[in-house]
A and B are shown apart, each in its own frame.
Chain A
């Protein structure tokens, strides 16, 4: 993984001291909250329902055991013993004190981490495939490209005050595990007919109140023009994106209103102008980054594990992913125990994950946008020992991509923007399906819950999505079907009128029963929905 050089460290250290001064001035009354607010947001510090909340950047979700141990220590020292892994592959702390934040940031900086650009109208943490560098199906490891873009976008003076926040994802396989087309810019590393690597650019996707799937605006950008083309995309947005209405300020609105062709024309014109302006770092810089992501020293070993223990066999079946080396797998640590809070991990669990990464995965972890954690390189020979330790710590739930593996935003339990609670629904749904023994029967079923229209819980992209709304002061939930954030990206459609909390949980069971009744061999919920359409589900829900 990427390691800071002296410039990186100096920048992050300087930012800590700058924030220390800003916070002190606020505490002494030398600046107002109105003046301080944008400064704290630039450092990831929000004021939420119960306290300050700090969002820490985990670039493309990659971290090592030293960093995870520090995240656990921070949870104990500055928070209440836990953290929340987010859909942007980051971690959030919910109970932070302003007077301690600078010290917290200094502790983060000591392990090459920070909270810069995790809020505000700037380029946010760049996300990627959580199996990057390990997946059998990837063309190359996308992380050097993500890192190049991270360095380009960090403290970029021109893009620090964009019309709105800006999210980029980079992948390098045809299987999309990063919701790439639901980003402001989605980049897929591809190979052209001449065998050269380049980047396909998808621009103008996103969720929120106006969900859109990003159209491809260019099939192939040579890798020595990757940054320049990104800059051109941003420049057109920065110039013409709407600043008069925050609800129409994302790039998806600009691309939609201009039309893909006109937006692309303007980007190409800007790109042409930029090509001789020296924006692009030399390819040598990309080559310098690649060794940070070199394969660890894999060794040959057993290709299969003894699956005579049915519980272990189920976990292997559900929670491991095929690795490019046939003696290894990527193992997913589920942060979705039945009735648990999706994405939450205690400091003890974080310490354990760090220890297990050190022991079994070349000291590396990945945070998934689905709020789980991956050990990317686990020897098949070590799987049983790993699983045994995870089980003992409540981290061995065999439920990846099942109805128990729910994405849920913090919702009204923590978030000041939310209209309804998300987490209690996730807890009750996972409990109901686990108790009825239906989880395995249903197979792959991605359920995503947002507590408001901002869609942090990705409800638009759930095979089943739930959106919490405020109905005359009470919580109400709309149900959506048919979304997908994978390579077959689709936006879910609302079934009809909303439900109260009990009603929406019953409704989930109703639609899954329809699926079980109607499915044909090998069909996932999403496949059946696409084949039979919305009507049978609506009839069951409302007639």
Chain B
């Protein structure tokens, strides 16, 4: 699947296109097929996303897994600071990245 990601212009937070808007959680990301450029152009113009881009991902066990490790790190947060990731209660969450 192809999903869209970028950063929130104001806060810099990593965000994912969920079909209607932008979510902090990669699991909310939807397959945009070939519509990625069109959505990104519109969202960039509306200043709802900064430096957006499309990536490959797969749907696994109900979750969305970006193909490249860099985007998995973006999706979770720094593996060396579990407390600052989106899964602060799970010290093993970093294993998902690898």
Contact = CB atoms under 8 A, between A and B. Distances in A.
B35 interface: no
B20 interface: no
B79 interface: yes
B7 A51 contact: yes
Contacts of A94: 78
B13 A474 contact: no
Interface in B1-31: 7, 9-14
Interface stretch (A96-104, A326-334, A364-372): A96-104
A412 interface: yes
B55 interface: no
A19 interface: no
Contacts of A473: 67-69
Contact of A50 (B10, B12, B44, B67): B12
Contact of A413 (B9, B44, B47, B78): B78
A29 interface: yes
Q: For this complex, into which size category does the number of interface residues on chain B fall?
A: 20 to 34
Given A413-B73, A475-B69, A47 B51 contact: yes
Interface string A90-129: 0000111111000000000000000000000000000000
A95 B10 CA distance: 12
Contact of A27 (B10, B13, B79, B98): B10
A50 B77 contact: yes
Interface string A459-500: 000000000000001110000000000000000000000000
A414 interface: yes
Interface in A374-404: none
Nearest to A341: B80
Contacts of B74: 49-50
Q: For this complex, into which size category does the number of interface residues on chain A fall?
A: 20 to 34
Contacts of A50: 12-14, 74, 77-78
A96 B13 CA distance: 9
A310 to B, nearest CB: 32
A407 B7 CA distance: 29
Contacts of A219: none
Contacts of B9: 26-27, 98
Contact of B50 (A33, A49, A414, A427): A33
A49 B14 contact: yes
A47 B12 contact: yes
Contacts of B45: 29
A38 interface: no
B95 to A, nearest CB: 11
Contacts, number: 70
SS class of chain A's interface: helix, strand, loop or mixed? Answer: mixed
B94 to A, nearest CB: 8
A52 B14 CA distance: 10
A49 B73 contact: yes
A52 B78 CA distance: 14
A51 B73 contact: no
Given A29-B47, A424-B79, A99 B84 contact: no
A221 to B, nearest CB: 44
Contacts of A97: 10-12
Contacts of A150: none
Interface string A6-30: 0000000000000000000011010
A424 B80 contact: yes
A475 B67 CA distance: 14
B78 A414 contact: yes
Given A47-B7, A421-B79, A98 B69 contact: no
11 contacts: A27-B47, A33-B50, A49-B73, A50-B77, A94-B78, A98-B12, A341-B81, A413-B80, A421-B80, A473-B67, A475-B98
Given A27-B9, A27-B10, A424-B79, 17 more contacts: A27-B47, A33-B44, A33-B51, A47-B12, A47-B51, A49-B70, A50-B12, A50-B74, A51-B14, A99-B10, A341-B81, A412-B69, A412-B73, A413-B78, A413-B79, A414-B78, A473-B68
Interface of A: 26-27, 29, 33, 47, 49-52, 80, 94-99, 341, 412-414, 416, 418, 421, 423-424, 427, 473-475
8 smallest CB-CB distances across A and B, nearest first, come from: A51-B12, A52-B12, A413-B78, A99-B10, A423-B80, A97-B11, A29-B47, A413-B80
